Chains A and B, each alone.
Chain A
Amino acid sequence: MADNVSYGWAGYIARVNLTSGDITKESDEEMQQDYIGGMGFANKIMFDEVPAGTKWDDPENKAVLAVGPLTGSGVPLGGRSTWATLSTFTKDYLIVDCHCGGTLGAQLKYSGHDGLIIEGESETPVYILIDDDKISIEDASAFWGKGTRETTEGLCKKHGLDCCVAAIGPAGENLLPYACVMNARSHSAGAGLGAVLGKKKVKAVVVRGTKGVNVADPQMVADLSDYMLAEVLGSNNNHVVPSTQQSWAEYYDKGSRWTARKGLYWAAAEGGPIETGEPKPGEPNTVGYRCMKSTKDLGPEAEKYTVKMAGCHGCPVRCYTNVQVPRVKEITGYSSTGNTCVPNFPVSSYMPGIAPVAGITDEDGTLTDLSVVYNQVVSAIVDDLGLWCNYAQLYRDIAHCYASGIFERVLGDDYASYRFEDFFDNQDPTPIVKILTDIAMNQSEIAYVGHGPLVWTERWDDAAWYDNAKSCLINYRGWPVHHAIECFGQVGGLYNMMFNRDDMIHSAVNFQGCGLPIDLKKEMAKEMWGGEDACDPDKAYTPINDAKIEFAWWSIVTDVLHDSLTLCNWVWPMAMAPEKARDYRGDLDLEAQFYTAVTGVEVTTDDLYKAAERIMTLQRGYSSLGMTDAEGNMGCNDFRNVHDVITEWVFEKDPDLKAFEKGTDKMDRDDWQKALGMLYKRFGWDEELGCPTKQCLDDLGLDDLESALDEAGLLVDGGTPYDERTRTYSGVLSDYCGNNPALAQ
């Protein structure tokens, strides 16, 4: 561009050094094409600047927040952001991504920054204030000790109600490994990031952005948005059929998150109830009613408390519950609560299977009014404490430690003070206040449950928990399932191994739950992943094959792509659509078309997938530098035997059934090992070890990583060349996309 305008990207990353007090900014232009933004930028910066072997609580660790070219640009669902830092609770303190929605990412972009690098350590509590170009380190001593709500309110009072405050609570201050960073009331960046900021004495990041995102072709962004809202986008998780039978819909599926229906209301709305009704495809102005999340998660009694839905910046799918429950206010002090993920249903979804909670369901199994109270009390508390749950592991572990007698054994005299019996048996939600607060304060024995299973199972002598299917722990390095083997068997299992935390990949589970019949899904699978056998009906799985590997690879790269662009992978990619006229096909090229319209840089879907593969491979290689082997030596590239080790229960569950029999998602050991090798090959990695090869590093242009691996003795030859392992995705669904405005050009 001759006019030297940066389109999409703001073009700069801010760097705040808390040790020296230096505040600088630097261009990110050189990273844009190869690493996109968001996760890509954050991972690249961590790899370049944080040496392998650094501990999460060392001053040398950094917290890197980044957004991408589509963040805040007007592209639907472009409100997310990704932080990267070192893990506080999984094995070896390797790099993790901490994603969050809310308004943080968009505000950062509007301030003129694609990223914020927080490095060093402060001696006293501080917050970082970003007010467009003005960045400062401010005294936070008045806010230290406060919950995230009070901190946010105080900082907004001081700096303006339009500021986005991303704050840690007591959990972060007290260095609890499960601490998170909260913005916009209930949007959390987890994976221990709160403890990293707490160690650096950063109470909050306050951002106000009044600038714009320059867009190369604003008309095309508008036209593509209209097209997407009218016929491609579904509901939360891109579920594309309603959950009840409706006159306009050919299909319905009771599991769908398209839960609007006649007679279902935002019953506590101002001015009187608002009916969710029957929002149909082709109605852009009713998209935000499709997902009625309060009753979906909390049961029918939540309707009367429902004010409305909400969610992240820029997203037309409103998946966030907003309820006002008087009893919750009485217990917690907070009138407004709600979430879309685990903190919306922490008790009812994760505890009863391990320790029954009396009174939260009726005789028919329907959730009761009490369940709304139990769930939302926890929701209000954990958000204020800045306490993250390791994708519900905290709740499963609390229930298990109570039910199996571990708490009684290890908590000593404190045990009685937690009143577990009242919480589980006597329909009294109030004991959870002390339980969670003590965990967050990180000063008593019970807090170890918030250090993650890697720590507490050893401390409290319960290694067997990993091998119990009820634990849902999927990897011995300390993280639980995030749509694992129950999601297309090997496909879900494979992508649950990839990162250093739970995967947060939704590309596959969205397809699984979208509500379309399996025969149609198989047709779509053939078009997208090269074979109808990429997907099987639930619990009727078949052995691994090439199409399943392609599906798993695609799930991983699309997730990484979205976390880099940044788009919401809880709904993207557009693999399916609600519109019958397009045979329910989605539009896989929308990311590339939006990217081109926003940045002015022509790219294809395959270009973007390759960039995502580069980012995934970078994280993989960076991880191997810090990973320890069986003897505890740092530097290990045997991912198959050290990192990608799935927990035993997946092979042992359902003892009366064999793997691949109908009725089970049990896995087969030999098939699993074969699947790992096939996935490694698809990425160009070593088929035995699962580490990046010289060939794939050359193909992806990861020269710095190649040098680092070589120096560490971890570089291996071999690997399938890029052209021999990849396939073309651009245009695979274009026959169904006649109304796509970018194709009309």
Chain B
Amino acid sequence: MKENTALEHVGSGADRLDAFFTRRGFVKVSGAFVATMAALGLLPETAAAAPTSSKGKIDYYATPSHVLKINRAKCTGCQRCEMSCTLKNDGNSQPAAARIHVRDGFFYGSELGSGDGIYYSCEWNIRQCHMCTTAMCQTACPHGAIITDESTGVRSVDPEKCVGCGTCVAACPYHMPVVNSVTHKSTKCIACGRCAEQCPNGALELVEWENVNHASGPTRQENPDPLISEVQDYVGGGKVA
């Protein structure tokens, strides 16, 4: 039998967003500087034309150094990634505030009717930060609270500046950031890789940055089973009147 290696991707649209900004030449301020940096091999080309800060001010250009690559077929739904994430980054175990999401798709996939989840296909999405070249969470933040780490290019939330408004959540094509229901601050992935260390199935891998928009796995079944609640004339597997 052939081994499972990578997964086909059903496009989410985020990749097209990146192209949109690139074509528009959105970055003007220091284009020449960036081009030089890229020519010297100091920045990947994909980063060169991407705005990375809010309020029109550009403070850094590198794509993040790392990104999580996932294989949802290997995910067994234990959700240790979520607990490990918050234990490391928040000092408590709070899956709903984790920077990686399994719990909300575990039962029914990306949405009811997707044909996914433990009740249907037994597949569900591991939603992870794509470490976008154009970080919409960052550009949308009205408080400039999502900052770029100068050494890694990873964006993180500055809790001092964050007011928990949720604009980043809405702006992210994947709705990855979460406003913590207890601290009322946003959180996002910083590519620390702790989730991957504790994944018992190797479904997560922290890799050097690459475009993972094409590798996240499908978000629904091509021919999903009809919902039980909509077609159900079975109780206990038997047709009942």
Contact B237 A210 (CB under 8 A): no
Residues of A within 8 A of B112 (CB): 153, 156-157, 161
Considering only residues 123-160 of chain B, those with a C-beta below 8 Å from chain A are: 123
Contact A267 B87 (CB under 8 A): no
Contact B95 A285 (CB under 8 A): no
Contact A74 B197 (CB under 8 A): no
CB of A319 to closest CB in B, whole Å = 10
Contact B236 A170 (CB under 8 A): yes
Contact A184 B118 (CB under 8 A): yes
Interface string of A248-291 (1 = CB under 8 A from B): 00000000000000000111011111110000000011111100
Closest 7 CB pairs of A and B: A212-B94, A332-B237, A288-B200, A316-B200, A210-B96, A333-B234, A212-B92
Q: Interface residue count for A (Cβ, 8 Å)?
A: 85
Q: Is B62 an interface residue (CB 8 A)?
A: no
- Contact status of A184 and B107, CB under 8 A, knowing A273-B2, A288-B78: yes
Contact B236 A161 (CB under 8 A): no
Contact B229 A218 (CB under 8 A): no
A132 to B92, CA, bound (A): 17
**What are some 24 contacts across the A-B interface (CB < 8 A)?**
A72-B83, A103-B79, A145-B235, A146-B232, A153-B112, A154-B229, A156-B112, A184-B107, A212-B86, A215-B87, A270-B73, A272-B1, A288-B201, A308-B74, A313-B79, A316-B78, A318-B78, A336-B120, A336-B122, A380-B237, A384-B234, A433-B237, A437-B238, A437-B240
Interface of A is mostly: mixed
- Contact status of A333 and B237, CB under 8 A, knowing A154-B229, A212-B92: yes
Contact B97 A153 (CB under 8 A): no
Interface string of A340-367 (1 = CB under 8 A from B): 0000000000000000000000000000
Q: Is B210 an interface residue (CB 8 A)?
A: no
A215 to B87, CA, bound (A): 8
Interface-located stretch among B4-12, B18-26, B36-44, B164-172: B4-12
Residues of B within 8 A of A157 (CB): 112, 229
A642 to B141, CA, bound (A): 70
Interface-located stretch among A15-23, A219-227, A569-577, A676-684: A219-227
Could you say which of A149, A433, A434 has the most chain B C-beta atoms within 10 Å of its C-beta? Answer: A149
Could you say which of B76, B111, B118, B194 has the most chain A C-beta atoms within 10 Å of its C-beta? Answer: B76
A182 to B107, CA, bound (A): 13
Contact B201 A284 (CB under 8 A): no
Contact A284 B200 (CB under 8 A): yes
A267 to B73, CA, bound (A): 11
Q: Interface residue count for B (Cβ, 8 Å)?
A: 68
Q: Is A334 an interface residue (CB 8 A)?
A: yes
Q: Enumerate chain A interface residues (CB-CB to B < 8 A).
A: 72-74, 76, 103, 106, 110, 132, 145-147, 149-150, 152-154, 156-157, 161-162, 169-170, 184-185, 209-215, 218, 221-222, 225-226, 229, 265-267, 269-275, 284-289, 307-318, 322, 324, 331-336, 377, 380-382, 384-385, 387, 433-434, 436-437, 440
Q: Is B121 an interface residue (CB 8 A)?
A: yes
Contact A222 B237 (CB under 8 A): no
Interface string of B167-201 (1 = CB under 8 A from A): 00000000000000110000000000010111111
- Contact status of A74 and B87, CB under 8 A, knowing A272-B4, A336-B120: yes
A302 to B229, CA, bound (A): 28
Residues of A within 8 A of B73 (CB): 266, 269-271, 274, 308
Q: Is B91 an interface residue (CB 8 A)?
A: yes
Q: Is B63 an interface residue (CB 8 A)?
A: no
Contact A152 B107 (CB under 8 A): yes
CB of B117 to closest CB in A, whole Å = 8
Contact A226 B197 (CB under 8 A): yes
A269 to B5, CA, bound (A): 11
Additional A-B contact list (15), CB under 8 Å, known A161-B105, A315-B78, A332-B234: A73-B83, A103-B106, A150-B235, A162-B103, A169-B235, A170-B235, A218-B93, A270-B4, A285-B200, A287-B201, A288-B200, A311-B76, A314-B83, A332-B238, A377-B237
Residues of B within 8 A of A313 (CB): 78-79
- Contact status of A307 and B122, CB under 8 A, knowing A212-B93, A270-B73: yes
Contact B78 A270 (CB under 8 A): no
Contact A274 B74 (CB under 8 A): yes
Q: Is B51 an interface residue (CB 8 A)?
A: no
Residues of B within 8 A of A318 (CB): 76, 78, 200-201
Could you say which of A161, A162, A209, A384 has the most chain B C-beta atoms within 10 Å of its C-beta? Answer: A161
